Amino acid sequence: MNFSAIKLLTFILVIFPGLAVSNTQEAQSNENLVVLESNSDVPNFSTPTIYASFNDNLKSEFTTAVEREFNAAPERAGISVAVYTKDKLWVYSQGIADSTTEMTINTPILIGSTSKTLVSSLILMQIEQGLYNIDSSLESVLSGHPDYSTFDKNIINPKVTIEELLSMRSGLPNYNDNRKGISGLFKSSSWKPSQNIQLNNSPYVKPGVFDYNDTNLALLGLIAEYHGGNDLYSLYKQTFFDKLDLTLVPLSSSIIRMDPAMPYDNLRPWAEGFGNVIEAAPFAFEYWIKGQSRMRWACCWMVSTPANLSRWGYELYSSKGNAIPVSVRNKLLNSMKGNSVTFQGTRQKYGYFVTERMFTLPSSRTITTYGHPGGGGGYSTLLRYSPELDLAIAILVNSPLKFQGSCKKYDPRTCVAESIFAAYSK
């Protein structure tokens, strides 16, 4: 392999780590990721029509908030937004899903790390069921798992607790840092989640300091499956999606037939400028999906629409929501007590995969919001819920939008959210 080829492969593994899988290989044998492949029922992403509308003035202000920020973005593809409060839903989309398809309110989009909100909710539900405790050690909850013995205990601290994993304060290394290991992992013909954990090759440090990394998610995913007796997606369906009538699905090749939004980002090294990554790169979308679904397992692998995601945020965080019992919601929201951390370029409180962020509106009113962002690989997501307004906002974008918005205070997604909160608060 010449130097140029090596340089290209290195870039691919850094930006899109899953792409080292050979195109000729079959999908991984791990049933956690192929659950949709054997399911004849295609997920229904159609926006429900049972909800009432916001008044015309609010709908106009919501639309203006989105268009003002999106139209001012120097690099953009498509955006899809939903605003939800009890029994009221507003949805809007603009731009393109790919080069030949417009973005619609029903276009499925990867939600990235907003998927983490599902992990913490499931773990807290299992704790509520008495399967283990918040202060249980990794060793006590996972030692019976068939893959636990393969973890180097100098790297994966057996004494780390569930709470330390949930709060990103475990002191564990981040498997995403092992780029050489990732290359080898995705050339293999089979895969299972524990292999992500085995990629770690540096010793753990003392728990307690906030460090955002996805080793925590992989371990919690294994814990949830082991004690729940089922794969992670099935546990989500049984615990949340079926009773709430929500559609969120894991990233898999079956997504292709649902016309999902394509990722848009910087096209180097395949081309110059900004555009559709899949069209510019020397691989198919299915190839991209198979690789990304491995590295994003548990942490960032769910696909949905803003209508579903806004309702999930409302049902999870609102006192009127039905996703989790009051006792579990209190544990989730109380997990943000304590000192703020620097996360995504701003100071905010970080709990069990939920952040608390304050907004000072143009009226000088300050509101609290809960949620978790998502991004990477040509997508970005924002989920925020305000308890003072009892309002949830979900914004899904098939590009990074990593620049200051026209509001001059935040990125475009957060500018949109602030404007919508401000309009509703009048």
SS3 for the chain, per residue?
CCHHHHHHHHHHHHHCHHHHCCCCCCCCCCCCCCCCCCCCCCCCCCCCCCCECCCHHHHHHHHHHHHHHHHHCCCCCEEEEEEEECCEEEEEEEEEEECCEECCCCCCEECHHHHHHHHHHHHHHHHHCCCCCCCCEHHHHHCCCCCHHHCCCCCCCCCCEHHHHHCCCCCCCCHHHCHHHHHHHCCCCCCCCHHHHHCCCCCCCCCCCCCCCCHHHHHHHHHHHHHHCCCHHHHHHHHHHHHHCCCCEECCHHHHHHCCCCCEEECCCCCCCEEEHHHHCCCCHHHHHHHHHHHCCCCCCEEECHHHHHHHHHHHHCCCCCCCCHHHHHHHHHCCCCCCEEECCEEEEECCCCEEEEEECCCCCEEEEEECCEECCCCEEEEEEECCCCEEEEEEECCCCCCCCCCCCCCHHHHHHHHHHHHHHC
The predicted structure's pLDDT at residue 333: 97
Cα 261 to Cα 246, 298, 303, 305, 402, distances in angstroms: 19, 21, 10, 10, 18
> How far is the C-alpha of 405 from the C-alpha of 401, rounded, in Å?
9
pLDDT tens-digit map of 351-391: 999 999 999 999 999 999 999 999 998 999 999 999 999 99
Gap between the Cα atoms of 378 and 262, Å rounded: 8
Band (pLDDT 50/70/90 cuts) for residue 423 is very high
Amino acid identity at 191 = W
What pLDDT score does 186 carry?
Answer: 64
Q: Could you read off the pLDDT of 98-112 as tens digits, one per residue?
A: 999 999 999 999 999
Which residue in 297, 280, 270, 302 sits closest to 394, CA to CA? 302
Question: Higher-confidence residue: 293 or 380?
Answer: 380
First to last CA, the chain: 63
- Residues whose CB is less than 8 angstroms from the CB of residue 242 and which lie 6 or more positions away in sequence, other chains included: none
Say yes or no to pLDDT of 11 above 80: no
The percentage of residues in the chain with a pLDDT greater than 90, rounded to a whole number, is 80
Task: Give the mean pLDDT of 188-205.
Answer: 92
Residues 118-175 pLDDT 10s: 999 999 999 999 999 999 999 999 999 999 999 999 999 999 999 999 999 999 999 9
* pLDDT of 308 strictly over 50: yes
Q: pLDDT tens digits for 233-283?
A: 999 999 999 999 999 999 998 899 899 999 999 999 999 999 999 999 998
What pLDDT, on a 0 to 100 scale, did the predictor assign at position 219? Answer: 98
Whether the CA torsion 249, 180, 262, 257 is positive or negative: it is negative
Is the pLDDT confidence value at 220 over 80? yes
Which span out of 8-12, 189-193, 292-296, 417-421 was modeled with the highest average pLDDT? 417-421
C-alpha closest to that of 313 among 383, 413, 239, 397: 383
Quote the longest CA-to-CA distance of the chain: 63
**Structure confidence at residue 185 (pLDDT):** 65
Q: Give me the pLDDT at residue 287, please.
A: 80
pLDDT of residue 41: 64
Q: Is 382 or 294 the better-scoring residue by pLDDT?
A: 382
Q: What is the pLDDT of residue 184?
A: 66
Predicted confidence (pLDDT) at residue 403 exceeds the cutoff of 80: yes
Between residues 419 and 256, the one the model is more confident about: 419
Of how many residues is the chain composed? 426
pLDDT per residue as tens digits for the range 30-84 = 434 434 444 446 899 999 999 999 999 999 999 999 999 999 999 999 999 999 9
**Six token digits for residue 242:** 């079926």
